Chains A and B, each alone.
Chain A
Amino acid sequence: MWEVLTRRIDNFLLGCALALVGVGLVTLFSAADQSTARVTSQVASLCFALVLMWVVANIPPQTLARVAVPLYVAGVALLVAVALFGIVVNGSRRWLSLGVARIQPSELMKIALPLMLAWYFQKFEGRIRWKDFVIAAVLIAIPVYLIKRQPDLGTSLLIAASGFYVLFLAGLSWKVIAGLAVTAGAAAPLLFSHMHGYQRERILSFIDPTRDPLGAGYHSTQASIAIGSGGVIGKGWLNGTQTHLDFLPERHTDFIFAVFGEEFGLIGNGLLLLLYMLLIGRAMVITANASTLFARLLAGAVTLMFFTYVFVNMGMVSGILPVVGVPLPLVSYGGTALVSLFIGLGILMSVQAHRKLVNT
């Protein structure tokens, strides 16, 4: 019985993930002024997430490959439906109402796009030519364009990144990569002029946080003060003044890292980074040892996306990136994000557990 439960589970990966969730719960308890309501709710999400992780870990990658196309097509269809009949929330058309529930198809795309691209390259394995990269670029451009139109620039960039990672790992020429980098740099001012007001506001606030004391700039400034005042050893658990005097906005979710940084200091931050590096390192080893092109590309994209979320969130909270709505993986409060992350871990475990089965 125990064997059935654990044979597909990668202990090292799970250990790192649980340690990070643990850090999250401890910080959450402090951020929520020692109320246990959010902690309990987060633990409940964790249980559900673990079950899903186990299920996904037991699905062989070949089976995942089979759902890639339907999932991608469904994702694009839903995005089109959003553009046509979506509900406007906060001025953006991101949600689709299904009568009883509202769904956000861009979330689905975060996993569907890498799956689709990995499937595509697997299909043409060994005879991948330049035209395949063009097709892959189109496959990326469709959802990215639809999501950018919603408008949700942050998510569309993240999804573009997930697609790019697959191309990169599949061997996209350095020349093209350099070309893309130059184009992106040149297009930045153009992009800025096409941005919506709130997006521009965020960028401008990033450059000068004092310009909008009630809005986006306030978040950044307060987060930097919280982290900086933590010093080397931190103010100690439950003792962060910035946190408890309500200066920190969104301190349960996107800005939870500021709470952690204030209370646990540079040492805590270093250890947290180390934990993330261990997790990402293990995921990279799994990726490197994966047996099929599909498994390699999928695992690689999942790993690099995980890294991206960590980097973007910490960068935003510590003030080296503009404010984007990305939670800190496994640490921020929020059930949906936790579940998707554990599904990602499940994919990695599946890749790891099924690598010999395919070789024989």
Chain B
Amino acid sequence: MSRRLFSSRRNDYGGSRYGGNEMRNTEREVFLFRRRLVIAALLALGAFGALFGRFVYLQVVQHDHYRMLAESNRVAIVPIVPNRGVITDRKGVVLAQSYSAYTLELTPAKIRNLEATIDELATIVDIQPRDRKRFRKLLDESKNFESMPLRTRLSDEEVARFAVNRYRFPGVDIKARLFRQYPFGEVASHVIGYIGRITDKDLERIASWEDTANYKGSDYIGKVGVELSYERELHGTTGVEEVEVDAGGRAVRTLSRTPPVSGNNLRLSLDIRLQEVAEQAFGDRRGALVAIEPATGDILAFVSKPGYDPNLFVEGIDAANWEALNESPDKPLLNRPLRGAYPPGSTIKPFLALGALTSGKRTPQYSINDPGFFQLPGSSYRFRDDKPGGHGSVDMYKSIVVSCDTYYYILASDTDIDDTARFMTQLGFGRKTGVDIEGELTGVLPSREWKRTRFAGEKYRDEHRKWYLGDSISAGIGQGYNAFTPMQLANAISIVANDGVAFKPHLVKNIVNLKTGEERSVAPEPTHTLTSKPEHIAIIKNALVGVNKEGTSATAFRGAAFTSGGKTGTAQVYSLKGEKYVHSKVDERLRDHAWFVAYAPVDKPRIALAVLVENGGFGAQAAAPIARKVLEYYLLGKTDPGPAITVPGQQGEDDTD
């Protein structure tokens, strides 16, 4: 049994003669081995014979057939690049479109002296040092030896001049290529994104979609924003054209043609006019704004200031512009609503209050007495309120309207942080909102588990990983470990405004198939509903209305011709270690971030938003006026809201938060 699989016994020619002798055993093995080798050699010979047979078949038997094919194999299969889909705003205003233009293209493999050729071309068409640099970069990046553009957007005159001189330049061609244009430039640049030349990394991505053939002939691919996340909708299906070519490889006539299918158009949920108003409202300040239609999850405005001009990227950005954008301390390339995680400050209070109502920890009537600070039992450390003498007796309504810290210190000390985190997750905190562009951060929703994981590293000890009551207290007013994106805050206020029914926020409203006219909506169904009772939400909304009427942002909303609810917030960038914060004395980049969340009108909210002004100082002063301008325009169509909005620089204690 043990030797059955091993063939030596049956094939043992020498075994009986040599017996069990070790030496002879080896000889027998060598003999058997050589026999196997001969068998392998014969098989190899047979395989080579088969190959040779195939060659004879191809080159002798079928030679005439293939020679004819080769003769007529002047038939080249040329991909026809489809038109990339158009991106419009919700009202159909074009935000990104393609147009056709002539380019001067060089095929390096067919050109003996590249430099000399370019020098000579420069005498016919205008070639700037910038063009040469970009071409060199393309040359370095491209491994295959296809043709690459030296100059783009040739004028008709230049095309004519080159056509006359074409015979002098083998390997140089004029081609019509599609270019992408973003008519609004910087406006909404972080939403729309841009396309750029396909790199090796993009090729990997295309291969992972198993779509390589469809990108034959395509030069560009979405790199950022909607252009990236909806690449597969926008691209379209590449067509095929069979053309007859002459001995030089130039097309003579078309034999057959499968037309390309244009990419789908995208209709964004964005209102570009509102977007413009919002961006203007920021002026030169840095920050973010996200406005959502609560009843649908449509994102109406999505601001990240400063922005950048996406048109710069389409043909490959030049070094100077790239450096200016990439190294600016203002970080214009950072998508702040999505990738900026900031402490929420007091904007978190209405959400925590809703959680307390939902869990039954608090009733609306429950009041505390605020001496102006809070102390943990057995500790002398004072968590301070903004108002030195305290707010006196504070119930839930007042706690939101005056933004009383002490109320929330006490609430936090009464509530388990994990319970808080569980409720806040329903509002979308600590996880991606699922908005349809890439790169979204989850932010930090502190909990015991989060802290354990965060400080799991070896350089931390168990006391770092443990959750302390003090952690809960500072988290209770939106400081401490909390960090959320403007997208998350906008989403949360939108859910509250919509009475607890949550939608997945989305930038693209419809995907429009041009041919069939069919429209598909993105994320039209609600995702979930808060566990809070309707009356809980009503209590919070009532308090938010109070904030704009008689609370911290009353000044900013004085005289507004619409009803609204809101909440201010101020997030510390830098801990002052007990010193009093004086706006003018702190370095600009270390000043507090200003927050404001709002929705309007109160009855049937049409818009909910979150505004963040980086290093803007108080939320009421820096962020709330921007929110008012946006609401005013969206609800009333007013572009110039007048002087009512200007908020005096100095504010009373009650107006801060």
Contact = CB atoms under 8 A, between A and B. Distances in A.
Interface residues of B, number: 60
B34 interface: yes
B69 A229 contact: yes
B245 interface: yes
Contacts of B70: 225-226, 228-229, 241-242
Contact of B55 (A245, A247, A266): A266
A224 B58 contact: yes
Interface stretch (B39-47, B401-409, B545-553, B591-599): B39-47
B37 interface: yes
Given A229-B67, A280-B44, A270 B2 contact: no
Nearest to A252: B145
Contact of B37 (A125, A169, A230, A231): A169
A89 B70 CA distance: 35
A33 interface: yes
Contact of A218 (B8, B50, B77, B210): B77
B461 interface: no
A126 B3 CA distance: 12
Contacts of B58: 224, 227-228, 261, 318-319
A354 to B, nearest CB: 17
Interface stretch (B22-30, B179-187, B382-390): B22-30
B73 interface: yes
Interface in A243-288: 245-247, 261, 265-266, 269-270, 273, 276-277, 280-281, 284, 287-288
B63 A228 contact: yes
A197 B54 contact: no
Nearest to A169: B36
B87 to A, nearest CB: 27
Interface string B207-244: 11010110010000000000000000000001010000
Contacts of B45: 277
B79 interface: yes
Interface in B84-119: 109-110
B4 interface: yes
Interface string A110-145: 000000000000000110111101000000000000
Contacts of A265: 59
A13 to B, nearest CB: 16
A213 B240 contact: yes
B109 A266 contact: no
B41 A228 contact: no
Given A169-B37, A218-B77, A224-B58, A229 B66 contact: yes
Given A228-B66, A229-B66, A318-B58, A214 B216 contact: yes
A258 to B, nearest CB: 10
B462 to A, nearest CB: 29
A91 B59 CA distance: 37
B66 A273 contact: no
Nearest to A306: B44
Given A213-B240, A227-B55, A311-B51, A91 B41 contact: no
A173 B6 contact: yes
A194 to B, nearest CB: 16
Given A91-B208, A173-B5, A247-B73, A307 B44 contact: yes
A58 to B, nearest CB: 25
A183 to B, nearest CB: 15
B213 A228 contact: no
B48 A197 contact: no
B48 A311 contact: yes
A212 B213 contact: yes
Among B29, B70, B74, B247, chain A packs the most CB atoms within 10 A around the CB of B70
Contact of B51 (A125, A197, A315): A315
Interface string A287-309: 11000010010001000100100
Contact of B63 (A32, A126, A165, A229): A229
Contact of A227 (B5, B7, B59, B77): B59
B215 to A, nearest CB: 10
Nearest to A293: B29
Interface string A215-233: 1001000101111111110
Contacts of A213: 77, 240
B33 interface: yes
A43 B56 CA distance: 32
A336 interface: no
A207 interface: no
B22 to A, nearest CB: 7
B36 A168 contact: yes
Given A33-B110, A214-B240, A314-B51, A171 B3 contact: no
A266 B4 CA distance: 47
A153 to B, nearest CB: 15
Contact of B3 (A35, A130, A214, A225): A130
B457 interface: no
A87 B26 CA distance: 47
Contact of A89 (B8, B37, B110, B204): B204
Contact of B59 (A89, A168, A212, A228): A228
Nearest to A296: B33
A33 B33 contact: no
B60 A232 contact: yes
A320 interface: yes
Contacts of A287: 37
B47 A311 contact: yes
Contacts of A33: 109-110
Contacts of A91: 204, 207-208, 210
A192 interface: no
A172 to B, nearest CB: 7
B341 interface: no
B32 interface: yes
B81 to A, nearest CB: 12
A56 B127 CA distance: 54
A269 B52 contact: yes
B250 to A, nearest CB: 10
A126 B77 contact: no
B155 interface: no
Contacts of B56: 266
A32 B144 CA distance: 12
Given A168-B40, A225-B73, A229-B67, A269 B7 contact: no
A88 interface: yes
A129 B9 CA distance: 11
A317 B73 CA distance: 18
A270 B62 contact: no
Contacts of A229: 63, 66-67, 69-70, 73
Nearest to B34: A288
Contacts of B40: 165, 168-169, 284, 300, 304
A152 to B, nearest CB: 13
Given A171-B36, A214-B77, A314-B51, 13 more contacts: A91-B208, A130-B2, A169-B33, A212-B213, A213-B240, A227-B66, A245-B74, A270-B52, A273-B52, A277-B48, A284-B37, A311-B47, A318-B51
Which are the 6 A-B pairs with shortest beta-carbon distances? A228-B66, A229-B70, A130-B5, A91-B208, A228-B58, A90-B207
Interface of B: 1-8, 22, 25-26, 29-30, 32-34, 36-37, 40-41, 44-45, 47-48, 50-52, 54-56, 58-60, 62-63, 65-67, 69-70, 73-74, 76-77, 79, 109-110, 203-204, 207-208, 210, 212-213, 216, 238, 240, 245, 247, 249
22 contacts: A88-B204, A90-B203, A128-B6, A169-B33, A173-B5, A214-B216, A226-B70, A228-B67, A228-B69, A229-B63, A229-B66, A229-B69, A232-B59, A247-B76, A261-B58, A261-B59, A266-B55, A269-B52, A277-B45, A300-B40, A318-B51, A318-B54
